[in-house]
Amino acid sequence: MVCLTPVVMIENEKINIPAHVAMIMDGNGRWAEQKGKARKFGHEEGMEAVRRVTMRASERGVKVLTLYAFSTENWKRPPQEVHFLMQLPIRFFDRFVPELQEKNVKVNMIGFEEKVPSSTKKAIQNAMDETKDNTGMILNFAFNYGSRAEIVKATQTICQKAIDGQINVKDIDEKAIETHLFTESITPYQDVDLLIRSSGEQRLSNFLLWQNAYSEFYFSDLLWPDFNGDVLDEALLSYKNRQRRYGAV
Ligand code: V07
């Protein structure tokens, strides 16, 4: 495999930086409850952690940072909480777009548009438009995202193309499936290199199932609002210390 990712010094160690880092930002509600506050305070503080981690990842030369902001399962939460979460992209961009511009970060989104309020979609679209010419890290929000539903959607599209004679069944290979997933928009970094999950949980929770086929996993016991750039550096160091074999010996 050709490795084009930069080598950066962290604590005097040369390290290979994973091109695509994906994060499951768990523990916001628990963080708030431990402090005797409402869950929304945890989400609010979680947004600050997003800012810290985005800035550090961009400094380290990560190409794509994918954040699991809202899953297709999250609609089952209490309506008030869902409503609050839907406002967060608007608040996030009101506050952070200038900083994203300064760091040359480009915003992208993967997920289903259906059910997302139009004001939220508009905020995300604006941020994507405003940062479309940036050439640095891609900050990729998985929003109303579910991996099985993504694979189902790709399957439907491919089958329809086969029926319409646009593709031969013989030609449906891994590449063909890959190009029908949401992550087509982050080509050539569709595969996750390093998956990080906070808050002590060690599950994938329907997040990028196809794209995580060969990724390294890093779990932290810290609750997401306590996450920061130094924890990201620890994860990057641990990544460097693992031999990646892709099934070979
Ligand atoms: C959310 C803050 C981070 C911890 C996880 C739960 C709460 C940023 C966004 C966001 C999403 C899309 C977008 C821009 C920003 C966000 C939700 C929750 C639903 F284009 N943080 N954050 N979205 N939290």
Distance 67 CA to ligand 1 centre (A): 8
Structure tokens at 188: 């050539």
Distance 175 CA to ligand 1 centre (A): 30
Distance 164 CA to ligand 1 centre (A): 39
Q: What one-character-per-residue DSSP string does 125-162 give?
A: HHHHHHTTT--S-EEEEEEEE-HHHHHHHHHHHHHHHH
Asked whether 103 and 95 are in contact (CB, 8 A), the reply is no
Distance 39 CA to ligand 1 centre (A): 14
pTM of this prediction?
Answer: 0.93
Instruction: State what percent of residues in the chain have pLDDT above 70.
Output: 91
Each residue's pLDDT tens digit, 31-81: 999 999 999 999 999 999 999 999 999 999 999 999 999 999 999 999 999
| Residue of 47, 86, 105, 228 to test ligand 1 pocket, by largest number of atoms within 8 Å of CB | 47
50, 59, 86, 91, 248 from 102: Cα distances, Å: 16, 12, 26, 18, 42
Q: Which residues of the chain have pLDDT under 70?
A: 1-15, 243-249
In the chain, the amino acid numbered 46 is G
Distance 118 CA to ligand 1 centre (A): 16
| Residue of 70, 72, 86, 105 to test ligand 1 pocket, by largest number of atoms within 8 Å of CB | 70
Q: How far apart are CA 132 and CA 127, in angstroms?
A: 8
Give the phi and the psi of residue 22 in degrees, each rounded to 5. -120, 145
List the catalytic residue out of 26, 28, 140, 193: 26
3, 159, 178, 181 from 168: Cα distances, Å: 33, 10, 16, 19
Asked whether 158 and 85 are in contact (CB, 8 A), the reply is no
Each residue's pLDDT tens digit, 190-210: 999 999 999 999 999 999 999
Q: What one-character-per-residue DSSP string does 40-59 give?
A: HHHHHHHHHHHHHHHHHHHH
Please say if 26 is a catalytic residue: yes
Q: How far apart are CA 219 and CA 31, in angstroms?
A: 17
In the chain, the amino acid numbered 92 is F
* CA-nearest residue, atom 9 of ligand 1: 89
Pocket of ligand 1 from Cβ distances under 6 Å: 25, 28, 43, 46-47, 50, 69-70, 85, 88-89, 92, 109, 124, 141, 143, 224
Please say if 233 is a catalytic residue: no
| Residue of 28, 40, 43 to test ligand 1 pocket, by largest number of atoms within 8 Å of CB | 43
